[in-house]
Amino acid sequence: MSARRALVARTYVDALGTSRIAAPETVARFEALLAEEPHGFVPPTVVLRENETLSIDVTLPAMSWPEGLRWTLERDDGTSDEGTVALREAPVVSADHRAESTYDTRRIAVAGPQPLGIHRLTLTVDAYGRGTTHVVVVPLRAYEVHGRTWGIALQLYTLRSERNHGIGDFADLRTVCRLLGERGASYVGINPLHATFRHDPEAASPYAAASRIWLNWLYIAVDEVAEYDGLDDKLVETLAAVRAVAEVDYAGVAAYKDSVLRRCFEALGRNPARREAFDAWCAARGQPLFRFAVFEALVAKYGRDLAAWPQSLRSPASPDIALFAASEDDEIGFAMYLQWLAAEQLAALADDAARHGVHLYRDLAVGVAANAADVWADAEAYVTEVSVGAPPDVLNTLGQDWGLPPLDPRGLARAGYAELLAVVQANCRDAGALRIDHAFSLARLYWIPRGGAPRSGTYVDYPVDDLRGIVALASVRERCVVIGEDLGTVPEGFRELMEASGILSYRVLFFERRADGTFAAPEEYPQLALATSGTHDLPTIAAWLRGEDAELRDRLGMLETPLDAERAARERDRALLLETLIAHGDLAAGEREDDVAVIVAANRYLAATPCAIVMAQLDDLLEERAPVNVPGTSTEYPNWRRKLATSVEALASDPRLARLCSALSKLRPRSTP
């Protein structure tokens, strides 16, 4: 079997343990999409570990062996080296007997170990070839986690406060970080901050964004913008309306913030120092920022369906883009201004949080929406004819189609993995930890032909050794711990590779079971892991204890088994959890019906594990019952919209929060650096 064919799985085992055979037409289609170009002079990218000698395989006609190879290495720090290597001194690692000639592949030792980064190597053999390759030098391991710490995770948009503007924002997050930092937490976890579609605010999912590099402008605290000069009287009623509703009114919030921030943008020109700082920030971010801003202007004018755009504007490389940008200069400037404000506030709150002993724990989604800014800006990095999903599992026996175009393993390698590095590094920035959603994407992804049923897909392999190295590089550059969300069907050897790279596993209390269904004991958890009592896709503990999640799925027509059977199974699981917590000494026998006691006990149980990080869920602690997201739904349930019943101001005196923080601080006291 050729290397190309090995990328596409012909058979696989789904999460239900069922062996499935991929449709031959699907395999053939994916193999055509992944077809490699004829082997050239040099590969497009070479990934090396730190302290590894820079060597590279070059393929040339065998008759070239008496020649010398000249090389020039341009490092990403601006320095360079050059030299010459005699081909005759390089060992032949393979030979290809073609019709026109025999081609030898020789392993050339170019230079010694190189610094971390993405460098450019140019190779020349007179009369035979000239080629350029990316040399990516990555660390052996990601940034190291220190000690046994804890934190609390929340959904930023759910925060309710007396000063915000209908949605949780960076100022609210700063307040929460200060409070939790003072109570001993080391991390505050948040949902992805990815830029959503600004001109389609109701498309609110943080996991189907317009860009994973740029930020969601709705989290800007408008009253803390330097150019803000107070509230216009005509917006008072608008603000009152978006603040009063129980769910986030994305369209209303967006309209309000757009009005206020456009006034701020107009005022920017009256402050030379601020204008100079803005211009310098934009210049430093260069073409990627400009392209994102142009994309937003294009969506504003032509809508989200790129197929409906004028043909000449569907590629950022088109000459007509410059003409369009000139005609939309103010709109493009405003888009960049929003990104500047968001980045400015995020960096400031991260610095403030660090002074209180706490770091942000950010979240990186597995992909972006179809027709996203990231795809338009770098189409070669994505496979637009395919969407990502999952094969059948317990919750979705028909499988899942997430509608996200996957990264193209060939396109990534052609560009030196620059797209992936930019994405991961952007999300490590201003954070102490980063969770990579569906981290299996570093090794394989379930591809579905766009428009086909989820069951018509199959797995496609990715260069996991290269990709885990890129993640480690971003992690070390930003001094950010990385957690790989590894729930579901784990590819063979995946967790071992992540552990070797210093990437933490992700362990959820309800899923850590022994073969007989009993809960794993704390000492059975791994050390290099984050342990948590829940995720954004799971019911809150209060709802789980009562089986309300099963009842909700039944009302939505998503329950595969009879509701009575689900209730009985849940009652058994509930009893099992309570007995486990009692036996371990975390819950008193008389506290079985006390939700807060159970929630604190569950997190105490996790705190006893050797796991490096334990994350409690704010939604659990505040006894929320409605989920923030029901997997497999879109319009059937108001996902990503629920606000917390408890305000940010009330958290400081909330006895539930005090009880949890006290318990975790005693079990995992913050160590002094």
What DSSP line would sit under 549-569, residue for residue? HHHHHHHTT--SS-HHHHHHH
pLDDT digits 0-9 by tens, 143-154: 999 999 999 999
pLDDT digits 0-9 by tens, 359-397: 999 999 999 999 999 999 998 899 999 999 988 776 666
User: Which pLDDT value is given to residue 659?
Assistant: 98
Q: How far is CA 585 from CA 541, 576, 581, in A?
A: 19, 14, 6
> What does the alpha-carbon distance between residue 81 and residue 390 come to, in Å, rounded to a whole number?
47
Contact status, residue 364 vs residue 436, Cβ threshold 8 Å = yes
> What does the alpha-carbon distance between residue 620 and residue 30 come to, in Å, rounded to a whole number?
42
Neighbours of 206 (CB within 10 A): 22
Confidence of residue 633 (pLDDT cuts 50, 70, 90): confident
The DSSP result for 78-123, as a single string, is: S-EEEEEEEGGGSPEEEEEE-SS-EEEEEEEEEES---SEEEEEEE
Listed in sequence order, the DSSP H helices in 315-382 are: 320-327, 329-355, 373-377
Contact status, residue 218 vs residue 197, Cβ threshold 8 Å = no
pLDDT digits 0-9 by tens, 452-467: 998 899 999 999 999 9
Contact status, residue 434 vs residue 482, Cβ threshold 8 Å = yes
pLDDT mean over 600-614: 98
pLDDT-above-90 percentage for the chain: 87
> What does the alpha-carbon distance between residue 18 and residue 530 come to, in Å, rounded to a whole number?
29
> What does the alpha-carbon distance between residue 567 and residue 570 come to, in Å, rounded to a whole number?
5
DSSP reduced 3-state for 287: helix
User: Which pLDDT value is given to residue 102?
Assistant: 87
The DSSP result for 216-231, as a single string, is: -GGG--GGGSTT----
Tell me how far apart the 2 most distant CA atoms of the chain are, in Å: 85
Contacts with 82 (C-beta within 8 Å, 6 or more apart), sequence order = 70, 71, 72, 73
Contact status, residue 380 vs residue 408, Cβ threshold 8 Å = yes
User: Which pLDDT value is given to residue 132?
Assistant: 94
* CA distance from start to end of the chain: 53
Contact status, residue 340 vs residue 278, Cβ threshold 8 Å = yes
> What does the alpha-carbon distance between residue 411 and residue 58 come to, in Å, rounded to a whole number?
20
Contacts with 317 (C-beta within 8 Å, 6 or more apart), sequence order = none
pLDDT-above-70 percentage for the chain: 98
Backbone φ and ψ for 190, nearest 5 degrees, come out as: -135, 160
**Residue 136 carries which DSSP code?**
E
The DSSP bridge pattern shows strands 68-74 and 386-390 to be unpaired
Q: How many CA atoms lie within 13 A of 652 on its CB side?
A: 9
pLDDT digits 0-9 by tens, 269-295: 999 999 999 999 999 999 999 999 999
> What does the alpha-carbon distance between residue 189 and residue 429 come to, in Å, rounded to a whole number?
14
The answer, yes or no, to whether residue 616 has pLDDT greater than 50, is: yes
User: Which pLDDT value is given to residue 39?
Assistant: 67
User: Which pLDDT value is given to residue 361?
Assistant: 98
The answer, yes or no, to whether residue 2 has pLDDT greater than 70, is: no
pLDDT digits 0-9 by tens, 83-105: 999 999 999 998 888 777 888 99
pLDDT digits 0-9 by tens, 39-63: 688 999 999 999 999 999 999 999 9
pLDDT digits 0-9 by tens, 329-366: 999 999 999 999 999 999 999 999 999 999 999 999 99
Confidence of residue 427 (pLDDT cuts 50, 70, 90): very high
**Residue 195 carries which DSSP code?**
E
The answer, yes or no, to whether residue 16 has pLDDT greater than 80, is: no
For the chain, helix (H) and strand (E) counts, in that order, are: 19, 24
DSSP reduced 3-state for 264: helix
Q: Which domains does the chain have, with CATH numbers?
A: 51-138 (2.60.40)
Q: How far is CA 357 from CA 185, 190, 520, 638, in A?
A: 7, 17, 31, 35
pLDDT mean over 228-256: 90
Please name which of 424, 426, 434 lies closest in space to residue 481, comparing C-alpha atoms.
Answer: 434
Contacts with 426 (C-beta within 8 Å, 6 or more apart), sequence order = 212, 213, 214
Burial class (CB in 10 A: 0-12, 13-18, 19+), 516: exposed
| Total length of the chain | 673
Strand partners, 389: 401, 446
Among the ranges given (7-16, 82-91, 146-155, 436-445), the one the predictor scored with the smallest mean pLDDT: 7-16
Please name which of 166, 147, 167 lies closest in space to residue 157, comparing C-alpha atoms.
Answer: 167
> What does the alpha-carbon distance between residue 113 and residue 625 come to, in Å, rounded to a whole number?
55
Residue type (1 letter), 428: C
Mean pLDDT of the chain: 94
Q: How many CA atoms lie within 13 A of 606 on its CB side?
A: 31
Neighbours of 233 (CB within 10 A): 7
The answer, yes or no, to whether residue 185 has pLDDT greater than 60, is: yes
SS (H, E, C) 146-171: CCCEEEEECCHHHCCCCCCCCCCCHH
User: Which pLDDT value is given to residue 1?
Assistant: 27
- pTM recorded for the entire structure: 0.95
Contact status, residue 207 vs residue 366, Cβ threshold 8 Å = yes
User: Which pLDDT value is given to residue 474?
Assistant: 98
User: Which pLDDT value is given to residue 640?
Assistant: 97
The answer, yes or no, to whether residue 227 has pLDDT greater than 70, is: yes
The answer, yes or no, to whether residue 15 has pLDDT greater than 80, is: no
- Joined tokens for residue 521: 């004991």
**Residue 669 carries which DSSP code?**
P
DSSP reduced 3-state for 531: strand
pLDDT digits 0-9 by tens, 514-554: 999 999 999 999 999 999 999 999 999 999 999 999 999 99
Confidence of residue 489 (pLDDT cuts 50, 70, 90): confident
The answer, yes or no, to whether residue 187 has pLDDT greater than 70, is: yes
User: Which pLDDT value is given to residue 38?
Assistant: 66
pLDDT mean over 565-576: 97
> What does the alpha-carbon distance between residue 563 and residue 401 come to, in Å, rounded to a whole number?
25
User: Which pLDDT value is given to residue 394?
Assistant: 66
Q: How far is CA 178 from CA 159, 186, 368, 465, 594, in A?
A: 15, 11, 32, 39, 29
